[in-house]
Amino acid sequence: NLSQALIDHLPKAELHLHIEGTLEPAMMLELAKRNGVELPYASVEEVAKAYEFDCLQDFLDLYYQGMSVLLTERDFYDLTWAYLVRVHADRLTHVELFFDPQAHTDRGVAFETVLAGITQALEDAKKEFGITSKLIMCFLRHLPEEEAFEALECACKHKDHIFGVGLDSSEQGHPPEKFARVFEAARKEGFTPVAHVGEEGTAENVRDALDLLKIERVDHGNHALDDAALTKRLADQQTPLTMCPISNWRLKGIPSLSASPVKKALDAGLLVTVNSDDPSYFGGYLNDNYRAVVEHLDVTEQDVVTLAKNSFAASFLSDGEKQAHL
């Protein structure tokens, strides 16, 4: 069918992707064996069966458990390379990916080990596939501000490889203001700020992230649409939103894919994009998310083209680089 072919053929960027969320069950078991790590699963089927989530926190618990198998530079390389090979097949040509260093340094894995494995795979994908990339380091919002400052200190030694800072993990109880100071410091150091807000949290969190953290892109932002004035502000300023339909559905942020706010955001004139978030855990890579939008929302083929174009427009590539991708 036409939409399917269109999705497969359009060059696309992915702007909301946690590299640790691409860890497939088969690789998880393989790395557990390679590294002598104990997991509560005996087979790929058992891992897959555990992936039933009632909310964001349910998922986060398994996400942090799963990444316990990632220990060496090679592990981070293999993880990142597998994702890039997979999305090259989806005609992805640019990716801005998140990583969660605190989830690794807390387990005794060095910041440099994590970064070296990821960046080597990104460099190889540029050479092999022509895929361009930017790396965004996320602060874990359930951890203290002081630990975010420690992560920022590490990032400052690697400005050549880290483009931006983000904010992820549990939104409830950890509002943007908790990170106002570390974001200010990060901006002063030249990092571009983004944040997960309005996923389980309210429009107020989205507004606070814009005003207090000065974010240049909203990750998720579903609940921004609850507030008409905020929606208008985002449309007027063309602040990008990185939405993740399958993730929202699997974490029960929406009752069904037909309740995804992607179409509403398009119709409101927002610079909205479609992304996979944690494809292994949620059961869908980039094109699966585009297909979900086509199958469950009343979108036209023109909307699909707009979403793919938005993915570059909303990226942090320069205008010249954006043109080269279209």
Catalytic residue list = 199
Does the annotation list 58 as a binding residue?
no
Residue from 243, 277, 304, 308 in contact with Zn ion (CB under 5 A): 277
Residue from 10, 13, 15, 18 in contact with ligand ES4 (CB under 6 A): 18
Terminus-to-terminus CA distance in the chain, angstroms?
Answer: 23
Contact partner at residue 56 from ligand ES4, Zn ion, none, CB < 5 to 8 Å by partner kind = ligand ES4
CB 31 within 8 A of CB 75: yes
Residue 277 in the binding site for ligand ES4 (CB under 6 A):
yes
How many CB atoms neighbour CB 255 within 10 A? 9
Q: Of 198-257, which residues contact Zn ion (CB under 5 A)? A: none
Q: How is residue 113 written in tokens? A: 């080990």
Residue 96 in the binding site for ligand ES4 (CB under 6 A):
no
Report the alpha-carbon distance of residue 194 to residue 120 in Å, rounded: 24
Contact partner at residue 242 from ligand ES4, Zn ion, none, CB < 5 to 8 Å by partner kind = none
Which residue, 118 or 304, has its beta carbon nearer to ligand ES4?
A: 118
Which residue, 10 or 79, has its beta carbon nearer to ligand ES4?
A: 79
Half-sphere exposure at residue 283, Cβ-oriented, CA atoms within 13 angstroms: 14
Alpha carbon distances (Å) from 313 to 129, 148, 158, 324: 21, 29, 26, 12
Q: How far is the CB of 233 from ligand ES4 (least distance, A)?
A: 23
Three-state DSSP class for residue 269? coil
Which residue, 29 or 166, has its beta carbon nearer to Zn ion?
A: 166
- Residue 203, judged by CB atoms within 10 A of its CB (0-12, 13-18, 19+), counts as buried
Q: How is residue 295 written in tokens? A: 């199958």
Residue 247 in the binding site for ligand ES4 (CB under 6 A):
yes
Does the annotation list 18 as a binding residue?
yes
How many CB atoms neighbour CB 179 within 10 A? 23
User: What is the pattern of x (binds ligand ES4, CB under 6 A) and - over residues 141-180?
Assistant: ---------------------------xx-----------
Three-state DSSP class for residue 179? helix
Residue nearest to ligand ES4 as judged by C-beta position:
168
- For CA atoms 154, 155, 160, 162, the dihedral sign is positive
Residue from 10, 14, 15, 21 in contact with ligand ES4 (CB under 6 A): 21
Which residue, 90 or 278, has its beta carbon nearer to ligand ES4?
A: 278
Contact partner at residue 96 from Zn ion, ligand ES4, none, CB < 5 to 8 Å by partner kind = none
Our CA angle for 32, 285, 244, nearest 5°, is 110
Binding site: what residues are annotated?
Answer: 16, 18, 196, 277-278
Q: Which residues are annotated as a binding site for Zn(2+)?
A: 16, 18, 196, 277
* Residues in contact with Zn ion by the rule CB under 5 A: 277
